[in-house]
A and B are shown apart, each in its own frame.
Chain A
């Protein structure tokens, strides 16, 4: 059977760089093809060409053996290609029905919208693929995982046969990822074909039928999950051997740096997000806070870093009460914070690299004399840090939005690590980053610990927690369910705890199969 989609010799040249270099890809009907590559490898450019957003310099696209010119997304949709973007294209205040039929409205005679007919069709699609979507829900009330399904329904509603998923798991919780994979399997069973763009090894191993690895605009290998190993894939992707395990010495905890006592914090809707949390963190150790997104970790970090005033309880940093202190005071006491949302909290995206590198020290000497900024020390600081932390940027005046995610994170790490610090709070330090950057940032965090810093790592990635932490505290519904030593616990046990189940009662519950096999 001929492939449903074939890309032949696709080449796209941007000024100064060959983003796609004669890429050949074919997609068979009813398979999931994973496109694996680091950020900036050219995956997204390729898919934008397929979706009609860019015009290729060379190359041809065949759909069902028929040569097609795709000049716009309208052409792509007509040819049966649909794309779920990394950032959803939904109108939050509209219902599911209105969002889905936007641009493809069902009308009654007289030009009135026929919402019932559209809703019925959505219900039908939802039932067929077990998407569990209610057409009348308002989109902004839905969790992210369900919003993504609305995006999928949008494509199916337009009769797409080829679905492109651009980094679909970046925003999902582990449970939602599992559910998404189940849905994707269901879709291919029904005859749809899927291209899955990702840089996460675990995901391709788990759900792809075939894997194409792209590096620097070229296809560098093709394999299947059966034949491939995570290490092999990582090496292919990065172009060198990558250490997937962070080597670290046993911890040597010393004095207590941070002590949190019976802390309660409300979230933005005034619901109790952190509910009576207590823990102690000592210098020279890494405490990992594990938990599914949305169990109070964000609010806990915001409270400790002064971005949110707790409702009750106390936080002590080196013996000083900082419960009601502002972020500046806490920073000045020697705390560093890698925020969960690096683009929103960690960087002023439109400002240059050098300005972002002094974001919380700009008012201190040598960067300021009185109220006058001192440009020369700011330049020098930036040049030193760019070199030391291997921030890949054309120059220090480049706005940070032009950097890749990994390099943006390095700007934050460089800024926070270049001050003398006694406490490091790293929230989702490697979310959305490629393997090379993850390795780099993990090593830096462990290095800080070895220098005697107390480190609090918050992550929803089990692997990250297990690799980095000396002790692990599992948060569930605002409480710390248990604190365990990292070397005394298995991934399965942690996964159960994250789902709110203590491992002792493992046999009684049949949730084990829901816990994902973690590959990397």
Chain B
């Protein structure tokens, strides 16, 4: 009994504290964190460039101008990589040729393509967080989703695209769902922490695909292990001719985000998911079935990530090769937190991450800055979000205090 009263406060482990810190941050903090991330990223670019040191060697002014130059080249090429070259775009629009315009806008569409899996996995992770589970396994769920969709893509022949596409998507969702279901089920049945089990499921998924692509699913005509091409009927519709890969998956992802938003905030199921995520004891008291809700949320989260994998295969790659280490699943944890686990917020943060990722390739080519700068930049953003005190100190923001709010609220009512 005494024991019970000491643990009356919900148990707080490292993850829940971290999560709480992140989810408390306000919009200002988010925006300032992003800006600060860019500033720090710029500083990092400066200190890691040999030219800057050389310039500082000759004179201070030259050093400063070299620093400025390298940062501006980095970020402008990042921008061009993400959105396209404004000069080219305006020239193309003036010429009025459709192919030219499309080519100039190519980077923009490519960024949308890169954002698509982020959308799926971001919504998946956010849904998990809402239900109080840490789905670290979006990566694995995405991968098993893609192999399942690929299998469905080449196995079923003679179907109309109207049937084949949904079928392959469904296969991806089921595989991902299974990968989410297992950790959820282990959690409620044995108490195994989902952080551990989802990470393990990632490895199982990874090596399963490695094996499948190496042997049973291998296209015998290829030297490097690859699966056969999926059939045309399983391709997700692409809106523009080659080389623009912008495909229907993007809009499916947006639709999924909206559906999950409705599910979470407009339905009784969502009410249950959110209640269980916030307070399991009270949800049990209120008669909700914790077991079913936790497992269902985990499976649904996995299914959405799996759908993301399916969309990649059916919209972008059309076949699966070995060693598909995308990193989407792990980045999505960060972007879900950045969106405060709001499915509609995920749309914005997924675009941010997608455009950064897509632009960084051009940045590497044009400015010679390693792609990893972007990962570090993203890490800075999350770090600032997790430690809002830093941002508050830098920008002299006032500390909002819950205590003060309590006092205000009681006194307001006392005046009534």
Contacts and interface: CB of A to CB of B under 8 A. Distances in A.
Interface in B378-416: 402, 404-414, 416
Interface string B167-207: 00000000000000000000000000000000000000000
Contacts of A362: 268, 271
A302 to B, nearest CB: 10
A507 to B, nearest CB: 31
B8 A344 contact: yes
Contact of A401 (B284, B402, B414): B402
B2 A144 contact: yes
A294 B267 CA distance: 40
A372 B265 CA distance: 9
B409 A341 contact: no
A140 B3 CA distance: 8
B32 to A, nearest CB: 22
B409 A403 contact: yes
A60 B199 CA distance: 56
Given A144-B2, A298-B4, A326-B287, A344 B278 contact: no
Interface stretch (A14-22, A23-31, A159-167, A496-504): A14-22
Contacts of A348: 275, 278-279, 282-283
A319 B396 CA distance: 65
A327 B406 contact: no
A293 B288 CA distance: 28
B39 to A, nearest CB: 31
B287 A328 contact: yes
Contacts of B6: 92, 140, 144, 147
B370 to A, nearest CB: 41
Interface string A1-43: 0000000000000111101000000000000000000011010
Interface in B29-59: none
A359 to B, nearest CB: 5
Nearest to A391: B413
B5 interface: yes
B281 interface: yes
A92 B407 CA distance: 31
Interface in B242-273: 266-271
Contacts of B286: 327-328, 359-360
A371 B4 contact: no
Nearest to A327: B287
Given A293-B1, A298-B4, A40 B406 contact: yes
Contacts of A363: 268, 271
B1 A307 contact: no
A294 B407 contact: no
Contacts of A267: 1
Given A16-B412, A351-B278, A359-B275, A373 B287 contact: no
A270 B405 CA distance: 42
Nearest to B398: A15
Given A344-B8, A347-B282, A351-B278, A16 B411 contact: yes
Nearest to A90: B6
A157 B124 CA distance: 51
B285 A268 contact: no
B361 interface: no
A502 B289 CA distance: 43
Interface stretch (A115-123, A194-202, A392-400, A485-493): A392-400
Nearest to B406: A402
Contacts of A17: 407-408, 411-412
Contact of B5 (A144, A359, A372): A144
A183 interface: no
B408 A294 contact: no
A296 to B, nearest CB: 8
Given A355-B271, A371-B268, A394 B285 contact: no
B1 A359 contact: no
A15 B287 contact: no
Given A337-B285, A339-B285, A344 B279 contact: yes
Interface in A348-391: 348-351, 355, 359-360, 362-363, 368, 371-373
Nearest to A358: B271
Contacts of A87: 9
Nearest to A142: B2
A331 B287 contact: yes
Given A346-B285, A360-B287, A216 B405 contact: no
Interface of A: 14-17, 19, 39-40, 42, 45, 87, 92, 140, 143-144, 147, 171, 216, 267-269, 273, 293-294, 298, 305, 307, 326-329, 331, 337, 339, 341, 343-351, 355, 359-360, 362-363, 368, 371-373, 392-394, 398, 401-404, 407
26 contacts: A15-B408, A16-B408, A17-B411, A39-B410, A40-B411, A92-B6, A216-B414, A268-B4, A293-B2, A294-B1, A294-B2, A327-B286, A328-B286, A344-B8, A344-B282, A351-B274, A351-B275, A351-B278, A359-B275, A368-B268, A371-B269, A373-B271, A394-B412, A401-B402, A403-B409, A407-B410
Given A14-B404, A347-B279, A402-B409, 11 more contacts: A40-B406, A92-B6, A216-B411, A343-B8, A360-B287, A368-B268, A371-B269, A373-B270, A373-B271, A402-B406, A407-B410
Q: Nearest 9 CB-CB pairs, A to B?
A: A328-B287, A392-B413, A294-B1, A17-B411, A40-B410, A360-B286, A327-B287, A345-B285, A359-B286
Interface of B: 1-6, 8-10, 266-271, 274-275, 278-279, 281-289, 402, 404-414, 416
